[in-house]
Amino acid sequence: MNLIGDHTDYNDGVAMPMAVDLGTESSFSPAPGFVLRAQSDAEPEPAELEVGSPPDPATLRGLRPQWSRYLVAVAWAARLRSGGYVDITSDLPSGAGLSSSAALEVSLALAFGLEGTPLEISRACQDAEQAATGVPSGLMDQLSITTAVEGCASLIDFADMSVLPVRMPEGADVVVVHSGQSRSLDRSAYAARRAECEAASFHLGTLGTLQPDAFLGLPDDTLRRRARHVVTECDRVRWFAKALSDGDLVEAGRLMTASHQSLARDFEVSTPSLDALVTKLTSTPGVYGARLTGAGFGGCVVALVEKGSVDISGYSAGAWRVHPSGPARVLD
């Protein structure tokens, strides 16, 4: 779940996600042959499919049930050479901007025995995601899952792939509230936003490494606003990390709300339901700040709140009080 810094990862910028105590667990029992038979408690329809040969992109994206696309893509990324039985359990809501697809990918990769550094496993899962969806998604979700530190958020610099744990203050809660609007990146303008960032980078250089106000020279208004979001968002991420380290929850909350405003106005990935939820939360006593989390276009809002101050039972679309978790791991 991302606290701050959206659409910065694929621009070599910085972001601050936090692995949470919701997740996905996959188990794999090998069997002779090349057929994978899988079931998930989060999906009504089981999957049965062949592995062992490179998945053709058109065929892969036409697989049904839809979630089986990830199964095949990760099996190929992990170089799985036999069939078997896969059982998946999850308490992560899908289509909510809470990295449910990345959690599935990483859990499958570990279950299939993929070995490597956290970065290597993350890149393999990113490749699987892009193959399964056709969306040029970034690396933030997978890398935050594989490198998390218990009790901490992660300050990730995508220019050099460094990860710095930042301990969450004791007096704060993190609350995630669903807007009631599901989203799917392959049916959103995510790819268009990335293309706009690439167009702006052609004129300015890599957006995540630019100095403040570098975007002012762009003559195209749309590209200037996209670049302004990335440049100012990276600045907000750095100040947010400092605010958390200092225990300044008021400043951290202010930066989160400013981030949402930038995502809504300059990057145009918010929706009326997300905006309304942010307004409701930020007017609630005890809430320091709130913003959409994930790529936008629907899903959830994350809020930094005074501990115990927000009753999550009153949100009909779903709400969770989450805590910073450790990394994905193989269970005995």
Q: What's the CATH code of the domain at 273?
A: 3.30.70.890
Sign of the C-alpha dihedral computed for residues 231, 163, 269 and 313 taken in this order: negative
Q: Examine the domain organization and report whether 183 and 142 are in the same domain.
A: no
Catalytic one among 9, 12, 141, 173? Answer: 141
Are 282 and 214 members of one domain? yes
Q: End of a domain among 97, 113, 147?
A: 147
Q: Is the same domain home to 195 and 240?
A: yes
Six-digit token string for 240: 């947010």
Residue 328 domain-assigned?
no
List Cβ neighbours of 97 (8 Å cut-off, separation of 6 or more): 183, 292, 293, 294, 295, 296, 298, 299, 300
Is residue 109 domain-resident? Answer: yes
The predicted structure's pLDDT at residue 218: 94
pLDDT given for residue 51 in this prediction: 85
Q: Are residues 119 and 191 in the same domain?
A: no
Q: Looking at the domain assignment, is residue 85 inside a domain?
A: yes
pLDDT at 81: 87
Count up the domains in the chain and report the number. 2
Per-10-residue mean pLDDT of the chain, 332 residues long, equals: 96 97 95 94 91 78 88 92 94 83 96 96 95 90 97 98 96 94 77 96 96 91 97 98 97 98 98 97 97 92 94 90 96 83
Supply φ then ψ for residue 60, to 5 degrees. Answer: -60, -45
Residue 268 lies in a domain: yes
Q: Which of 92, 114, 147 is the last residue of a domain?
A: 147
Q: What is the pLDDT of residue 184?
A: 67
Q: Is 235 an annotated catalytic residue? A: no
On whether both 181 and 273 belong to a single domain, the answer is: yes
Confidence (pLDDT) at 295 = 86
Regarding whether 290 and 199 lie in a shared domain, the answer is yes
Q: Within this chain, do residues 73 and 187 fall inside the same structural domain, yes or no?
A: no
Within a domain: residue 4? Answer: no
How far apart CA 237 and CA 116 sit, in angstroms, is 29
Say what the pLDDT of residue 323 is. Answer: 95
Q: Are residues 142 and 179 in the same domain?
A: no
d(C-alpha 219, C-alpha 29), whole Å: 57
Boundary (domain end) residue, out of 147, 175, 191: 147
In a domain, 214, yes or no: yes
Largest separation between any pair of C-alpha atoms in the chain: 61
Q: Which two tokens stand for residue 172?
A: 């704060």
Residues 195, 123 share a domain:
no
- Cβ neighbourhood burial of 327 (10 Å; 0-12, 13-18, 19+): middle
DSSP 324: B
Helices marked H in 205-321 — which ranges?
Answer: 221-246, 249-265, 272-282
Question: Residue 127 belongs to a domain with what CATH number?
Answer: 3.30.230.10
Q: Do residues 206 and 108 both lie within one domain? A: no
Same domain for 97 and 180?
A: no
pTM over 0.85: yes
Domain that holds residue 198: 167-322
Q: How many Cβ atoms from other residues are within 10 Å of residue 144's Cβ?
A: 27
| Strands across the sheet containing 152-157 | 2-4, 14-17, 152-157, 162-167
> Is 142 in the same domain as 173?
no
Report if residue 19 sits inside a domain.
no
Residue 13 within any structural domain of the chain: no
